[in-house]
């Protein structure tokens, strides 16, 4: 199996038969009574549904089903956690606690959420994962053989040791799926399916709804030329990312493809493009287990969420078993897995990501019944993120890998989906030469400054001063990167790593959508480049507002630096967002191009500070680190935070961006929400329209 793990396949199948015989008996037993009996009965019924999928797949029966039957099976597997049924789902911690009590409710809701992974394991034919998870369910049920009282500690222990004992397996699988292209479940669906027969959508085992079906239908209706143009933009962005940073793509043999289900026709064309430059696809599934971190953001191969509240309710389930011993065990198994796969890891080029947007902004309900990390666990999360990133960077060096990200709308965006999709394709293929030249004019002004002052307009209270790097040789050096359409598509920003000392003030945005979560009236205060205070107005309680930001923006750190200051120049994207009323639905990838933005966390050059990077004009970008990332040479854990979240001020909330020079003179880059640098007047046309 890899990484030193040897488990006999026949032994697993024997164990599977035994545990399924036991689970099949649960619905008819009376070992527990009342609400607990109903929990185990309903949960066992769900497990048996997934077992039927596993058996039919093994026997080749699933391929014979009609599309309507496929749809019904998919609907039945996910119906319990859909919004319309969630009030009485055991996946809802509030309901579970209500009917099962405080002692068992949270534990059994967490177990129920973990068991949802059986769907993926069944469709992929992962007998090992499927068997051990069913054994966990059976073990928890057996805790009640001696009665219904005092068993919570046994349940907690069973779940804890499950994740501790099987860490080696889970770590091996996650590393293998990231770097090893052989026998890939998703590549087979992508490259071998008849994409005109939409039954292929149901082969993934992911929830398939209107977004996935209509997206596939829409792409099927496009011409080969249109599909190829989209694919070319995506793959060229990836290739140019290596070229622009002076990295050797020829030493790479794989590319990690992240894509939404429904985009297969374009992704298939992209795979063929990648193959022409010697890159094979590696594709993994969006996280289904708390071990790998279920959350609100989507990566890998994914579909739109069945219920974002369910995802949010269970994003911290790891708190049940997270302690120092588990973290050290997980780091040990991660090192072992990477050592086993060090050859394919070295050849891994990095991710090529397709994001989607268009769903309604999600503002979660925070429930007291969910698991929350305590302060000790918060520190362990930070420690693990840092240590695991260092391990990954050792085997997949940052100075040798690259990436690209592109985004497209979902049908959920509304009646004008097709128009918006066409408009997005145009955004993604804007003339980068024109933007490059206009952005260079902006950089020429910015490079004369010691600081930049950013001021909000109207109700926006932003009042920020950002300190800039000093140029020793302005003829050959620059502070800002001229970002055209390569790793970040579409075109349209200039950015830098600010000097932290002297970077002070308030960042305020009336509404912003970050990593699938909505923030209202977000305010972050900086002193010498570090966050000193923060709040929002999502909840009535100030404590909950701060916790929301602490968990989802600060990522459990007490503070974060301002890792990036950028000016977005894609006023065409801004105009499209206003024209269609979709500003609150744009992904950060596009939103960051529609105004100035500020990233909290690591710089854009994280783990690549010592790699020389140049603008199209030949000048070296020297602002690649700040006072925090400079600590990497003495202690990497002090240098990196392993997060980077962009927060954008839209043009209509912006008054001015002013360069302040050492001699005290000032020059506006933007004033009254309009670009003022000579030669950038064209950027104001979409704003005026």
473 with 611, same domain: the answer is: yes
97 with 221, same domain: the answer is: no
Q: Where are the alpha helices (DSSP H) in 348-474?
A: 375-395, 417-428, 432-446
pLDDT, tens digit (0-9, with 9 covering 90-100), for 591-603: 888 889 999 999 9
Label the pairing between strands 493-496 and 596-601.
unpaired
| Sign for the pseudo-dihedral over CA of 74, 75, 80, 81 | positive
Label the pairing between strands 666-671 and 654-660.
antiparallel
365 with 484, same domain: the answer is: no
Q: Cα separation of 658 and 365, whole Å?
A: 40
> Which residue in 489, 543, 573, 536 sits closest to 647, CA to CA?
536
Neighbour-count burial for 505-518, b at 16+ CB within 10 Å, e otherwise: bebbbbbbbbebbb
Q: Which of 112, 137, 165 is the last residue of a domain?
A: 165
Tokens 């994280």: give the residue: 606
Q: Cα separation of 95 and 367, whole Å?
A: 11
| Sign for the pseudo-dihedral over CA of 548, 605, 488, 483 | positive
Is residue 648 included in any domain, yes or no?
yes
Maximum CA pair distance of the chain?
84
534 with 636, same domain: the answer is: yes
Q: Cα separation of 663 and 379, whole Å?
A: 44
Residues 6+ apart with CB under 8 A from 166: 132
Is residue 335 included in any domain, yes or no?
yes
Residue 404 dihedral angles phi and psi, to the nearest 5°: -150, 155
The tokens for 94 are 């509030």
Residues 6+ apart with CB under 8 A from 275: none
CB atoms within 10 A of CB 593: 28
Residue 425 dihedral angles phi and psi, to the nearest 5°: -60, -40
pLDDT attached to residue 149:
64
* Cis peptide upstream of residue 490 (ω within 30 degrees of 0): yes
pLDDT, tens digit (0-9, with 9 covering 90-100), for 394-426: 999 988 999 999 999 999 999 999 999 999 999
Is residue 75 included in any domain, yes or no?
yes
pLDDT attached to residue 5:
44
Q: At what angle do helices 127-142 and 167-179 cross, to 10 degrees?
A: 150
Residue 561 DSSP label = B
Helices (H) and strands (E) in the chain, counts: 23, 20
Label the pairing between strands 463-467 and 499-514.
antiparallel
129 with 223, same domain: the answer is: no
Is residue 411 included in any domain, yes or no?
no
Q: Which of 165, 190, 206 is the last residue of a domain?
A: 165
In which domain, by residue range, is 24 found?
Answer: 9-165
Burial of 106 (C-beta count, 10 Å sphere; 0-12/13-18/19+): buried
322 with 183, same domain: the answer is: yes
CA 60 to chain centroid, in Å, comes to: 34
Give the chain's residues under pLDDT 70.
1-8, 146-150, 295-296, 485
Is residue 681 included in any domain, yes or no?
no
325 with 453, same domain: the answer is: no
pLDDT attached to residue 17:
97
Residue 674 DSSP label = E
89 with 189, same domain: the answer is: no
Q: Cα separation of 452 and 677, whole Å?
A: 15
Is residue 450 included in any domain, yes or no?
yes
463 with 355, same domain: the answer is: no
pLDDT, tens digit (0-9, with 9 covering 90-100), for 562-577: 999 999 999 999 999 9
**CB-CB contact of 576 with 423 (8 Å):** yes
Is residue 1 included in any domain, yes or no?
no
328 with 449, same domain: the answer is: no
Does pTM surpass 0.95?
no
Is residue 416 included in any domain, yes or no?
no
The tokens for 536 are 């929002």
pLDDT attached to residue 1:
38
Q: Which of 372, 390, 405 is the last residue of a domain?
A: 405
How many structural domains is the chain composed of?
3
Q: Cα separation of 489 and 299, whole Å?
A: 17
161 with 210, same domain: the answer is: no
Residue 656 in 3-state DSSP? strand
Q: Cα separation of 340 and 362, whole Å?
A: 40
E strand spans, 569-619:
596-601
142 with 184, same domain: the answer is: no
Helix or strand holding residue 146 (H, E): none
Residue 150 in 3-state DSSP? coil
């Amino acid at each position: 199996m890899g990484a030193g793990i040897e488990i006999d396949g026949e032994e697993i199948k024997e164990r599977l038969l035994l545990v399924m015989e036991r689970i099949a008996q649960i619905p008819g037993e009376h070992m527990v009574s009342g609400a607990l009996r109903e929990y185990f009965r309903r949960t066992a019924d769900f497990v048996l549904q997934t077992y039927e999928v596993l058996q039919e797949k093994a026997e080749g029966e699933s391929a014979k089903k009609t599309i309507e039957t496929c749809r019904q099976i998919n609907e039945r597997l996910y119906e319990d956690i859909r919004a319309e049924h969630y009030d009485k789902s055991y996946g809802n911690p509030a309901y579970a606690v209500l009917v099962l009590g405080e002692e068992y409710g949270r534990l059994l809701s967490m177990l129920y959420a973990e068991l949802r992974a059986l769907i993926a394991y069944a469709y992929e034919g992962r007998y090992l994962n499927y068997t051990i998870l069913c054994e966990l369910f059976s073990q928890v049920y057996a805790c009640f053989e001696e009665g219904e009282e005092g068993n919570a500690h046994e349940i907690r222990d069973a779940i804890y040791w499950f994740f501790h004992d099987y860490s080696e397996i889970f770590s091996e699988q996650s590393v293998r799926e990231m770097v090893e292209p052989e026998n890939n479940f998703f590549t087979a669906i992508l490259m071998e399916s008849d994409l005109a027969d939409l039954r292929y959508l149901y082969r993934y085992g992911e929830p398939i709804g209107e977004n996935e079906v209509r997206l596939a239908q829409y792409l099927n209706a496009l011409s080969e030329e249109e599909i190829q143009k989209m694919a070319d933009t995506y793959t060229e962005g990836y290739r140019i990312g290596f070229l622009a940073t002076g990295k050797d793509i020829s030493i790479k043999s794989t590319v990690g493809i992240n894509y939404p289900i429904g985009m297969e026709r374009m992704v298939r064309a992209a795979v063929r493009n990648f193959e022409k430059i010697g890159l094979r696809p590696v594709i993994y599934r969006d996280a289904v287990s708390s071990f790998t971190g279920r959350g609100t953001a989507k990566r890998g191969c994914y579909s739109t969420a069945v219920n974002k509240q369910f995802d949010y309710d269970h994003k911290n389930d790891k708190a049940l078993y997270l302690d120092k011993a588990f973290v050290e065990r997980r780091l040990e198994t991660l090192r072992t897995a990477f050592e086993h796969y060090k050859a394919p890891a070295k050849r891994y080029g990095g991710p090529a990501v397709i994001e989607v947007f268009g769903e309604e902004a999600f503002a979660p309900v925070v429930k007291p019944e969910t698991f929350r990390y305590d302060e000790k666990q918060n520190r362990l999360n930070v420690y693990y993120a840092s240590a695991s990133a260092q391990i990954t960077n050792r085997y997949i060096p940052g100075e040798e890998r690259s990436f690209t990200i592109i985004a497209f709308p979902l049908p959920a965006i509304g009646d004008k989906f097709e128009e918006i999709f066409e408009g997005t394709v145009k955004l993604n293929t804007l003339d980068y030469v024109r933007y490059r030249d206009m952005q260079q004019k902006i950089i020429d002004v910015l490079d004369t400054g010691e600081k930049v002052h950013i001021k909000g307009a109207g109700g926006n209270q932003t009042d920020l001063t950002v300190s800039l790097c000093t140029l020793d040789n302005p003829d050959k050096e620059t502070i800002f990167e001229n970002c055209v359409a390569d790793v970040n598509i579409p075109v349209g920003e200039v950015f830098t790593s600010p000097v932290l000392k002297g970077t002070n003030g308030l960042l305020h945005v009336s509404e912003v959508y970050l990593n699938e979560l909505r923030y209202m009236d977000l305010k972050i205060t900086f002193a010498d480049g570090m966050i000193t205070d923060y709040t929002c107005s999502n909840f009535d309680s100030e404590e909950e507002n701060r916790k929301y930001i602490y968990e989802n923006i600060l990522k459990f750190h007490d503070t974060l630096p301002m890792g990036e200051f950028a000016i977005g120049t894609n006023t065409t994207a801004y105009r499209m967002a206003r024209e269609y009323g979709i500003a609150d639905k744009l992904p950060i990838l596009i939103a960051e191009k529609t105004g100035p933005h500020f990233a909290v966390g690591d710089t854009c050059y994280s783990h690549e500070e010592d790699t020389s990077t140049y603008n199209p004009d030949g000048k070296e970008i020297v602002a690649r680190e700040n006072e925090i990332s400079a600590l990497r040479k003495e202690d990497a854990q002090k240098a990196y935070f392993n997060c980077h979240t962009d927060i954008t001020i839209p043009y209509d909330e912006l008054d001015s961006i002013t360069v302040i020079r050492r001699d005290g003179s000032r020059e506006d880059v933007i004033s009254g929400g309009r670009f003022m640098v000579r030669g950038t007047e064209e950027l104001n046309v979409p704003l005026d329209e």
